[in-house]
Structure 1
Amino acid sequence: MEIEELVETYADYCYRVAFTYVKDHGAAEEIVQDVLLAHYQNEHTFEQRASLKTYLAKITVHKSLDYLRKKERRWGFFFTKGKNVEVADTTINLANTYAQKEKYGEVLDAVLQLDEKYRAIILFYYFEENTLAEISEILSIPLNTVKTRHQRAKQQLKQSLKEVYFDEEF
């Protein structure tokens, strides 16, 4: 696969994955560049045990966590609690009505306030539409751990969103 096709097909997805972790547009872009370039240069190492999308997501998660570890060592913290977080335009597909936008915004804010381990599960499952098995593979954690975190994240969201009415069951 040529680098242009690789970028066109997977860059946005990898960016959303990276941004989920690092919450920084510039850092997410750099991570994606590193991931796609590394894969292109070492394409022969891809064993095709999973889809290319899953493989790239897994690499993106690892590089994002590496970035956060370096940031933690440098600054002594991962995230600033209570800080407003920007979300990439490509990750949001809002309905046209104000009420739906407001409800979506409240839900997204609640998701972004979750601990990183729960937030990742929710974003991969509901926003990226990955299966729990795919999430297990992407995050390199056991499937039962993913299931447990998924349930706990849903409970935390329900607790924090008591006033928001859901059309769909989580």
Structure 2
Amino acid sequence: MTTNDENILIQSIKDGDAKAYAQLVNRYKAMVYTLALRMLKNREEAEEVAQDTFIKVFRSLHKFKGDSKFSTWVYRVAYNTCLDTIKKNKKYINDVAIDEFTFNKLDVIDNALENIIKEEKSALIKACINKLPEDSSALLTLFYFEELSLDEISTIINIEANTVKVKLFRARKKLAVILEQYLQPQNSMNYGTR
């Protein structure tokens, strides 16, 4: 599944080419940092995890078999490094309570989510995602912002694709609750002017 370009880069790194390693870091540093920031919600920790990820990638490059995309493998290393950091720091983040939420409302939020991401309002989505627990924010980031498939996400976080689908559904419900809280004051202001 790896491209010929990736195979050449990987082999160059294995042969000790420092420039090839720098090229690998430049190619994937933004996606690794973004995932780490979404999961850890702390810039300094995200930077440390990104550095640790590339050290781990370098040290275990011989373990990469090429049966998935190289970017998926790098994501998985980053994801696991984030989990290790979370466990080490023993962070406990309050979960968003989910009450009954109709499928109709969820579909409306999903459609709104797609439109918002495509427009400048993605900052609001990112702020709301940052309020979610690490696993939910990571899933939404991988699915919506990095546009990975369920199978790719499944490989990264090491769970079945159907489980990813369920977790993604729950994460969207949590996001919908937070989005509704953000949008509620605007709606009540609009009703008050009529």
Q: TM-score range by the shorter chain?
A: 0.7 to 0.9
Structure with more helix by fraction: 2
SS at match of 2:168: helix
1:35 maps to 53
- Given that 1:18 and 1:31 are in contact with CA atoms closer than 8 Å, whether structure 2 keeps it comes out as yes
Structure exhibiting the larger radius of gyration computed from Cα positions: 2
Structure 1 unmatched runs, 5+: 82-93, 166-170
* Residue in 1 that maps onto 2:152: 134
1:78 corresponds to which residue?
92
- Superposed displacement of residue 113, structure 1: 2.0
Tell me the distance in 2 between the aligned counterparts of 1:159 and 1:21. 19
Residue 139 of structure 2 is aligned to residue 124 of structure 1: no
Tell me, which stretches of 5 or more residues in structure 2 are unaligned?
A: 1-8, 10-19, 96-116, 187-194
In percent, how many aligned pairs have the same letter?
Answer: 27
**Is 1:146 matched with 2:164?**
yes
Output the CA distance in 2 between the equivalents of 1:115 and 1:35.
21
Distance, in Å, in 2 between the alignment partners of 1:5 and 1:105 is: 29
Deviations 1:92-114, CA, capped at 9 Å, x for gaps: xx88xxxx65x433332222222
RMSD value over aligned CA atoms? 2.6
Corresponding residue SS for 2:143: helix
Bigger CA drift: 127-136 or 104-113? 104-113
CA distance in 1, matches of 2:125, 2:53: 30
8 Å Cα contact 2:143-2:150 kept in structure 1: yes
Equivalence for 2:128: 110
State how many pairs are aligned.
Answer: 145
For each residue in 1:38-76, what CA deviation from the matched residue of structure 2 results, as whole angstroms up to 9, or x when unmatched? 22233221111111111011011111111111111xxxx
